[in-house]
Amino acid sequence: MFSLNAQYLDRMAAGKVLGENLKAKNWQEVPLILAIPNGGLAVALPLAKMLHADLDLLIVRKLQIPFNPEAGFGALTSLGTVILNQPLVNRIGLQDAEIQQVIYRTKTQIDDRKKVYKGLVGLFSPKSRVVILVDDGLASGYTMLAAIDSVRQLSPKRMIVAVPTASASAISKVREQVDELICPQVDDGVVFAVADAYEKWYDVPDEEVIMLLREYRKAKPKRKG
For the segment 162-197, what is each residue's pLDDT rounded down to a tens digit?
A: 999 999 999 999 999 999 999 999 998 888 999 999
HEC sequence for the chain: CCCCCCCECCHHHHHHHHHHHHHCCCCCCCCEEEECCCHHHHHHHHHHHHHCCEEEECCEEEEEECCEEEEEEEEEECCCCEEECHHHHHHHCCCHHHHHHHHHHHHHHHHHHHHHCCCCCCCCCCCCCEEEEECCCECCCHHHHHHHHHHHCCCCCEEEEECCEEEHHHHHHHHCCCCEEECCEEECCCCCCHHHHECCCCCCCHHHHHHHHHHHHHHCCCCCC
- Report all structural domains of the chain as residue ranges with CATH numbers, in order of start: 11-59+121-219 (3.40.50.2020)
pLDDT in tens, 48-58: 999 999 999 99
Residue 25 has a pLDDT of 84
- Over residues 111-154, the pLDDT tens digits come to 999 999 999 999 999 999 999 999 999 999 999 999 999 999 99
